[in-house]
Structure 1
Amino acid sequence: MKWEGNRESDNVEDRRGDGGGGGGGFGLGGRSIGIGTVVLALIGSYVFGVNPLTMLSLLSGGGGGPAQVQQQAPSHTPPASDRQSKFVRVVLADTEDVWTELFRAKGGSYVKPRLILFSGSTDTACGTGQSATGPFYCPGDQQVYIDLSFYRLMQERFHVNGEFAQAYVIAHEVGHHVQHVTGISDKVDQQRRRASERQANALSVRLELQADCFAGVWAFHANRSRSILEQGDVETALSAATAIGDDALQRQSQGRVVPDSFTHGSSEQRVRWFKRGLESGDTGRCNTFDAQQQL
């Protein structure tokens, strides 16, 4: 992926080395949404003996109570100049440029999210964010949170390498921000509260697949404007989407697949919706909630 020398976002806060943010215990309460929730479920099944499907349900809002609102930590020092943090700032800047233009084209104004780098745990408006959760978006403070050790987990546990795959992770979480500022996620939350567990899971799948499609939309426009893609980049992103499909994770953790418990979508679905956004660059093609639309 070609990114060095491109604009870096100033909407990044570096909390790494802050000593964990003072949070005690897992406090996300199911209200934050992110690509890494499935990773926590998988790790929980290995380390704590917890059924990964139970953890997926909790993290996606099934049975979870209202988010625990905490005092936001004060502003910290600017991000360090290490390569990984520079990469994150460039990718975030690229999403800012793309979504600002897409919103402007429809007569709107894009509210840029802030991205928080942390290690261990950190305070969020959704409770205490944990590294084990993986990257996530908190609608309460409109911020994306990421512990960069997740990228190492992608390589070691899921055998996914490549900077474009890492960029896809950030773009997916920014996709959740787009859903929040456009009111999509609020409508889905309202529907989920009135739905059965099976129906709520199905709505979560549609939300996640749309975020995958939005990540593809970003990649389409970023590549058209700045030629960021190199040979093999798309394949690495598709590998990432495949590795974190619900069916792949369930098969790995419990040896069987339970489609009714999916909250993020199958590997095939995640790949297909990301490719739809990547090939079209059209957010209108990302309507996973169309009643006639086959996921």
Structure 2
Amino acid sequence: MTRVTRCLNIAWKAQFGKAKLAFGQPRLRFSTSKVNTPCGRWPSSAGGMYCSANRTIYIGVTRQVLKNPYAANHAQFMAHEYAHHVQHLAGIMKYYVNSTWRAGTAGKLAFSRRLELQADCMGAAFLRQISGSLPVEQEQWDGMVRWVHANGHKNWPKNDHGKGSSQAYWMDRGFDAGAPSACNTWSVPANRVA
């Protein structure tokens, strides 16, 4: 995860440079228990989280994670959490917060799905970019996407991260494109972020 984070730092610094935007690396904190953060409690169903208040990515290190060291899955997870840092630096997170402040319950969930699915897509685009150093065979990728399609929504009963089919769609879109430009979840119809 630390090596993947170093690679993410390099990749996103280059992207921000192309866009002439300021970039700063996030902090990375591993924890064997769910800790309180400046952003509040760690969600019970989450294996990790990003807190914009202290620009820190929190990653849970559990027995289950250690027993299943599937590199591509862990890299996708890390890249997803890192994408939230990117959203924060790019002003997307601020837009999200301002929009949800005015929205009702259904609107808040819809905005949350757009934010989370964009992070799925950006994580997958990164994974395609590093496929030379972290080989991800098409068969492995297809297996991950099939699993997400069937199970991705199960940890999120409020549907704040999108249905499994939506998560799979945005992961595939990012991986196929290999570029964050494929990840604009904010301008697509609602059925694409269900």
- Is this a same-fold pair by TM over 0.5? yes
Query: Alpha-carbon deviations, 1:165-216, whole Å to 9, x = none?
Result: 1111111000111111111011111111111101111111111100001101
Measured in 1, the distance between the counterparts of 2:155 and 2:67 equals: 13
Match of 1:182 in 2: 90
Structure 2 distance, partners of 1:128, 1:269, is 26
SS in structure 2 at match of 1:144: strand
TM-score of the two chains, using structure 2 as the length reference = 0.85
Q: Distance in 1 between matches of 2:116 and 2:63?
A: 19
Name the CA distance, whole Å, in 2 between partners of 1:165 and 1:198: 30
| Paired AA for residue 274 in structure 1 | M
Tell me the TM-score normalized by structure 1.
0.58
In structure 2, the partner of 1:207 is: 115
Is 270-279 or 97-106 further displaced after alignment? 97-106
Pick aligned residue for 1:245 from 130, 133, 152: 152
Output the amino acid matched with 1:95.
Answer: L
Q: Which has the larger radius of gyration?
A: 1
CA–CA distance in structure 2, aligned partners of residues 249 and 95 of structure 1: 26
Asked if residue 276 in structure 1 is aligned to residue 168 in structure 2, the reply is no
Aligned equivalents of 2:13, 2:173: Cα separation in 1: 21
Residue 148 (structure 2) pairs with residue 235 (structure 1): no
Structure 2 CA distance for aligned equivalents of residues 113 and 94 of structure 1: 13
1:108 aligned residue: 21
Give the letter for the 1:279 counterpart.
Answer: D
Distance 1:196 1:110, change over 3 A: same
Instruction: State the distance in 1 between where 2:89 and 2:64 align.
Output: 27
**1:93 lines up with 2:6 in the alignment:** yes
Return 5+ residue gaps in structure 2 as ranges.
none
Cα shift at 1:241: 2.9
User: Are residues 262 and 129 of structure 1, via their aligned partners in 2, closer, same or farther at CA, if it must alter by over 3 Å?
Assistant: closer
Compared CA separation, residues 154 and 239, structure 1 to 2 (3 A): farther
Identity %: 27
Q: Secondary structure at the match of 2:130?
A: helix
**Larger proportion of helix:** 2
Provide structure 1 residue ranges, at least 5 long, that are not aligned to the other structure.
1-87, 156-160, 254-260
Structure-1 separation of matches of 2:128 and 2:84: 18
- Which residues in structure 2 correspond to 1:41-52 (within 5 Å)? none
